[in-house]
Each structure stands twice: as structure tokens, then as C-alpha cells.
Amino acid sequence: MNADSSLLPPHSVEAEQGVLGCILLDPGPSLLHCREVLPDPLGFYDSRHQRLYGAFMAMEDAGTPIDLVTVNTWLQGRGILEEVGGVSYVAGLPDASPSPANLPTYAEIVTEKWLRRKKLSAITEAQFIVADESRDIQESLDAADSAVITACGITGQSSVEPMPVLMARAIDLIEKSFEHRNQGLMAGISTKLGYLDKLTTGLCKGEFWILGGRPSMGKTSLLCSLILNIAVEQNIPFGFLSLEMSRDAIAMRLLSALSGANLMHLRTGHLSRVDLERIHAAWTRLSKAPIYIDDAQSVTPAQIRSKARRLISGYGVQVVGLDHLHQIYVPEARGDERIQASEGGMVLNWVAKTFQVPVLGLAQLNRTFESESAKSRGRRPRMTDLRGSGNLEQLADFIGILWRNRGEEREGEPEDEEGEAIPVDLEVVKQRNGPTGECRLTFLRKTLKYVDRYENTGSQVGLNHRHEKRDMEEAEIELEREL
């Protein structure tokens, strides 16, 4: 490559000629494929090829057959035949491709070069935006990030897949599910909360979950518990955008929940020797865990997209959590909760669908839920209880709301003697791909951790379950010794 050509934007004239040649050789299927991966003539670098490809698309739309004669006639009738190189250049294009079967390879090269040009153009645009001192710095950074992210969103890949491919994947999943039907196979990432996994089959790719609750109900604690269950127990990278709490505060919560040490004791230093040993063991595990926390405040939707992209592409994050979506800064909302919630929900749904990762967004409830639940102790949560619901109800694939079923407590599920283990239900009020219902959890007040009901020190029923399990394990060990 000579010095002059090295300064040109990324392109491949040969690949572009190959694509156009394949279209002339076999117009029907070739254009069908090309219009999916190259929807814009600007995907071609050479202006001659842009005009030719545009002509092919226009002819197909008009129902005009495409061959050398009709193409030349079309171009000549519009006075652009010489601009594309003349009859001889068009006639030589089929020779640039030995076979239409090579079209996918040529098209992939052309789209890859196009994507590189778009990225370079976006970076240049971002430089001018940031350098413009007449604009507010935060506005400039948002606009620059948005320009780059928009360019990176052009993948050049078809959004349509043939049915045989889709059916093959579906049958494969069904067969695996059938083979492992009694082994707890998850379609997605396990939350390690039995009730929730059974109801949802895990956190699936591209799903947007909303976890709601009143203030101080433990929404952040639930998210931290899921971080431990996913990143520590399963070594799956988790990205946490904390718009409300600092990284240090989140780290202390994770240490407390994993070690079992009282969070207040961690803060005050009143720790026993056993606590210190447990904390050291938890610190070792957390230091190795793929957890990435961003605690930037007053974050806009554009910044959410940028931060999520960096977490996913830079750190390999497979699950994204945000606390909470009502804290996303939306200037145009002007205090309108519905607009703010809608914009927040749209950006989290965009992250989930664009990057194909599960996204968990925490959300507040309306104040009316508190007053109505106070009047009727058995009043169950609904989707409309989400603050600024509206679009959130349509955007979310899953909506779960934390609440305490006071009516259930009266029926015989008391807290433990010290009131440190609190029965809490996660009411699943919407699930796009599954049933609704309740997931029974217990909130451990000392460590701010959520666990499955009956699998903790919270209730007498749980204590009995643990004793039965321990007795069975001891009996099995004794039987092995005798054998």
C-alpha cells in the first residue's frame, strides 16, 4: 500500500465490485441478502458503486428486471451512465465475481469497511463537539458519547434469520430441558433463589427486569444478594450502576452479606475473632469476583448507554444492574415522573436488547400503595403501583415487587425471636415469557441479605428443615462407614 492510499478511509474496491457483480449474475437472492446487510448505498465507498447499487434497489422496487441491458438502459435514461464508468465498466462487473455463492464474503468485507468508516467519522464528530467551548461540557460529552454509540450500533448483520435456524435452536433447547428436567436446568443465568428460578428459569439474554418496592424495603439489598449469587457463586461478570449509593457502601454491604457478619458491627468495629475470620474469607472471594461498580451521580440516558457499552465490551459483563431508574437524570422531564420513568425504562430496555444481556432495574412505588396497603393488609401489589408506570409496564419483560404479606404473618409465619429474619414476598406481577405468582424470600436484617424462605435461621419451619437435612446427612455418613 502506498502512502497516498494509506491515508484513505477503510474500503475495498474489489469487494464492492464483487457484490455488484453477484447482483448482476443472480439479482433476486443477491439483492435480498444485500438489502439486509447493506440497506444504504452509502455503505459503498466508491461513488460509482453507490450510484449503481442505488439503481439496483430502485429497479427492484419498480419491478424492473435486472441485467446488463436493463441496467444500462436505466442509467442512460437518467443521464448517469458515464458517471458510473460507462457500458464497459458495468459489463466488466460480473467478471469480478467467479460465483454468486461468494456474495456473503464480499458483503461482509464491504459492511466491515463501512462500519470502520462510520466509527472514524463519529470519532471526528465527537472531537469537534467536545472542542466546542460554547456548549455545556456535560451536554458535549453526552452528544459525543451518543455519536460514537450510534455508529457502533451499525453491525452490518441481518436482523432476520431463516426459520430452519430458529427451529434448530428451539428444538435444541427443548431437548436439553427434557433431558435435564429433574436437574434444575436454567434457560438463563440462575439467581440461586429457588422460588425465583423455578418461576422464571433464570435471567435470560435480552430481558429487562424491574424490581420494585417501597423505600427501605430492601431493593438494593436484593440486588446485592443477586450480585453475590451470580458473580461470586457462579463467576459470571456483573456490572452495577449505582446512582444512589457509593462504591464503598456497596462493598461493605457485599462483605457483610457474604461473611454473615453484622453490617453495623462492621461499621463500628465491634467484631469477634470469628467475625474477622469470616470477613477475611469473604474479602478474598470478593477480591477475585468479576464485579464492576460505577457510582457516578446525575447520569443521563446517553451516559447509561455509554457506561453499559464500556462494561460489556471492556469487562465482559453478562448482567447489568441499576439502582435505581428514577435516579436517571432526564433534563427534558422537568420533574415529570412519567417522562423520567419512561426514558429510564427505554434506555435500560435498549441496553438489554442491543447487547443481549439481562438488565435489572430497581424502581420505587407510588405513595398510594402504602396508604392502600395500610387500609387493607392483604392488598397485593400491581404493575400500576410502580412510580410513573405507564411505559414501564410495556417495556419490562419481568416486573417483581417486594412486599410484606401481613395477612400471611397473622396465619402463623412469625419472625424469629429477635426479629432479625423477616419474611418478604417478591410478587411477580408481570412475566412476558412465563407465569406470575409470588416468590417467598427472607430478609436477614443484620447482613441485609435475601435468601430463600425456610433455608435460613428465620423461621421455626426453616430450622426444622435444616435439622432434618443435617440428620439425613449424618445418617448417610454413618451408613457409608458401616459399608
Active site residues: 244
SS3 360: strand
> CB-based contacts of 254: which residues, under 8 Å, 6+ apart?
224, 227, 228, 286, 291
What is the CB neighbour count within 10 angstroms for residue 294?
18
d(CA 113, CA 121): 12
Give the whole-angstrom CA distance, residue 210 versus residue 352: 12
Which long-range contacts (C-beta less than 8 Å, at least 24 apart) are formed by 133-140?
Answer: 138/300
Distance CA 51, CA 175 (A): 49
Report how far residue 131's alpha carbon sits from residue 124's, in angstroms, rounded to the nearest whole number. Answer: 11
Candidates 108, 100, 120; CA nearest to 156 is 108
The 398-403 sheet, strands edge to edge: 291-294, 238-242, 319-323, 359-364, 208-213, 398-403, 421-431, 437-444, 449-452
Run of H or E including 108: helix 103-131
The label of the residue with cell 436477614 reads 444
Contacts (Cβ under 8 Å, ≥6 apart) of 66: 23, 24, 27, 31, 56, 59, 60
Largest CA distance in the chain: 97
Q: How many residues does this entry show for the chain?
A: 483
- Using CA of residue 83, residue 84, residue 86, residue 89, what is the dihedral sign? positive
- For the chain, how big is the Rg over CA atoms in Å? 29
| Residue-wise DSSP of 205-239 | TT-EEEEEE-TTSSHHHHHHHHHIIIIITS---EE
Give the C-alpha separation, 402 to 411, whole Å: 19
